[in-house]
Amino acid sequence: MVCNGSIKNYNFMSIKNKGIPAPLPRIARFEELGYGMFIHWGLYSQLGSGEWVMVQRGIPSAEYNRLLQSFTADDFDARAWARLAKAAGMRYITLTTRHHEGFSLYDTHGLSCFDAPHSPAGRDLVAEFVQACNEEEIVPFFYHTTIDWQWFTDMTWPPAPDGGPNFAEYLDYLHASVEVLCTQYGPIGGLWFDGNWAHPDADWREDRLYALIRRHQPEAMIINNTGLDFRGAKGHPEIDSTTFEQGLPTMPDRRGWPKYLAGEMCQTMNAHWGLGDKDLNYLSPAQIIENLCLSRKAGANYLLNVGPTAQGGIPAYEAAALRRVGDWVRIFGGAIYTAKPVPEIRCAGQDFVLKAGSKHYYFAFNLPIKGNEHVTVGGSSRPGLRAFSGLKAELRSARWLDVEEKLAWTQDATRGIAALDCTPYPYGTQLVVRVAELETV
């Protein structure tokens, strides 16, 4: 396959404009999605030991590939996936259309027989996924590996900086596969690539790949995971977002950047991206809520993974935890999706402020509960002042978003100093992070 088109290479060190660039419309839309679901599902799910089980156990391809014959997708219900994401307050889903094992959930249209239509499932599962997302108003994103153990099973490739003798042929196959995803499913939210970090010196021909995507899906986000060692790193000029794998994002200094980049933290609910039958160390709903808030504090999206069962069902704990977090998002979602960080406003501890229009939102962590001392752990009957600086606008009103309770405050607008009287939770309530809406003049 030959793909024409070129992309200008920018010199990041020679930028004279030291201002912050405006985000492109697709990037601005992505930032307002805010919270998404990552789904790792493939043949590896049948072994219940994570998505890297083929390499971790040293399973030969001929043996591993027999898993294709037992992949029925009997429990796969794309509409249920999309409805769960919606109930959790998530606005997009990123699905592993092909992971490193090389098996595709989509119809590769003759590029390979190692795909879902050639399994007992007998159909294009990505097509069902996209349809379900569209029906539930969830934005579909496609994860796609850039390394493939079917081609390079020894994990030592490429053996040379030029990628080795088979690398050009492999890239043709990879790019043709991505072209299928870009042309067969209508508009998508974006492509999420993973694997370049394994061989950073190889020529991945990113210009050709990204030109292909821009030709077919001009409004799609292009994301290429920089892995655990290079969280937040910028890459090729066509990339639209930095990644923070398994680590809280930091607020970047975008001054002088040639292009505004979004940020996204991706995280597992336990220690495995794919199903881990014996992994019991799950995040709690409280931890998920905190990580969502702290991602938004840095202006980044939060992409939280679930690992479906062998045949496509969502495990009970993961579904329950996500629905519980959805209860929180239904209360405070107005402050999560569209509000932006305000770096000049500084708060004590984990507290922070976001802004949308004339409204500021104060995120309060570790509030006590008001109640009888004999039954309330860490309780308090008295309010607590939370001081912050950097707010120049004059406060007009303050209230909790979860109840119609107005809050008192004190302010010296000239000096940009204020203190908010954060009242305790009423007994029977503990929202993990509580949000107050501040109206300013």
Is residue 1 pLDDT above 50, yes or no?
no
Whether residues 65 and 121 fall in one domain: yes
Report the range of poorest mean pLDDT among 48-52, 158-162, 302-306, 337-341: 158-162
Q: Which of 372, 245, 349, 246 is nearest to 297 (CA)?
A: 349
Instruction: Output the pLDDT for position 9.
Output: 35
Whether residues 155 and 189 fall in one domain: yes
- Within-domain flag for 351: yes
Query: What's the burial of 322, exposed, middle or buried (CB within 10 Å: 0-12/13-18/19+)?
Result: buried
**Mean pLDDT to the nearest integer, 198-202:** 86
- Within-domain flag for 374: yes
Whether residues 188 and 63 fall in one domain: yes
Query: What's the burial of 185, exposed, middle or buried (CB within 10 Å: 0-12/13-18/19+)?
Result: buried
**Mean pLDDT to the nearest integer, 227-251:** 95
Tally the domains of the chain. 2
Top pLDDT among 12 and 23 is at 23
Is residue 293 pLDDT above 70, yes or no?
yes
- Within-domain flag for 371: yes
Task: Read off the pLDDT of residues 110-143 as tens digits, 9 standing for 90 and up.
Answer: 999 999 999 999 999 999 999 999 999 999 999 9
- Within-domain flag for 391: yes
Is residue 436 pLDDT above 50, yes or no?
yes
Report the range of poorest mean pLDDT among 45-54, 302-311, 368-377: 368-377
- Number of CB atoms found within 10 A of residue 186's CB: 11
- Within-domain flag for 7: no
Which CATH number is 135's domain given?
3.20.20.80
Long-range contacts of 362-366 (CB under 8 A, 24+ apart): 362/386, 362/388, 362/398, 362/420, 362/422, 362/435, 362/436, 362/438, 363/293, 363/297, 363/335, 363/433, 363/434, 363/435, 364/422, 364/433, 364/434, 364/435, 364/436, 365/290, 365/432, 365/433
Is the backbone peptide bond immediately before 158 cis, with ω within 30 degrees of 0?
A: yes
**Mean pLDDT to the nearest integer, 401-414:** 94
The CA-based dihedral angle spanning residues 50, 51, 55, 60, taken in that order and rounded to the nearest 10 degrees: 100
Q: Which domain holds residue 389?
A: 341-440
Boundary (domain end) residue, out of 338, 369, 403: 338
- Within-domain flag for 6: no
Q: Which residues contact 73 (CB under 8 A, 6 or more apart)?
A: 116, 119, 120, 121, 123, 125, 311, 312
Binning pLDDT at 50, 70 and 90, where does residue 199 land? confident
Q: Which of 321, 295, 296, 289 is nearest to 430 (CA)?
A: 289
Side-chain-side CA neighbours of 270 within 13 Å: the count stands at 22
Boundary (domain end) residue, out of 294, 311, 338: 338
Whether residues 210 and 348 fall in one domain: no
Top pLDDT among 9 and 423 is at 423
Top pLDDT among 107 and 3 is at 107
Binning pLDDT at 50, 70 and 90, where does residue 378 land? low
- Within-domain flag for 4: no
Report the range of poorest mean pLDDT among 38-47, 140-149, 158-167, 417-426: 158-167
Whether residues 229 and 347 fall in one domain: no
Instruction: Output the pLDDT for position 11.
Output: 35
Whether residues 152 and 202 fall in one domain: yes
Is residue 15 pLDDT above 60, yes or no?
no
Whether residues 193 and 261 fall in one domain: yes
Binning pLDDT at 50, 70 and 90, where does residue 10 land? very low
- Within-domain flag for 229: yes
Whether residues 16 and 162 fall in one domain: yes
Whether residues 359 and 275 fall in one domain: no
Whether residues 320 and 350 fall in one domain: no
Average pLDDT value for the chain: 91
Whether residues 158 and 89 fall in one domain: yes
Boundary (domain end) residue, out of 316, 338, 360: 338
- Number of CB atoms found within 10 A of residue 371's CB: 18
Task: Read off the pLDDT of residues 297-330 as tens digits, 9 standing for 90 and up.
Answer: 999 999 999 999 999 999 999 999 999 999 999 9
Which CATH number is 405's domain given?
2.60.40.1180
61 DSSP assignment: H
Whether residues 30 and 75 fall in one domain: yes
Is the sign of the CA dihedral 407, 411, 416, 421 positive or negative? negative
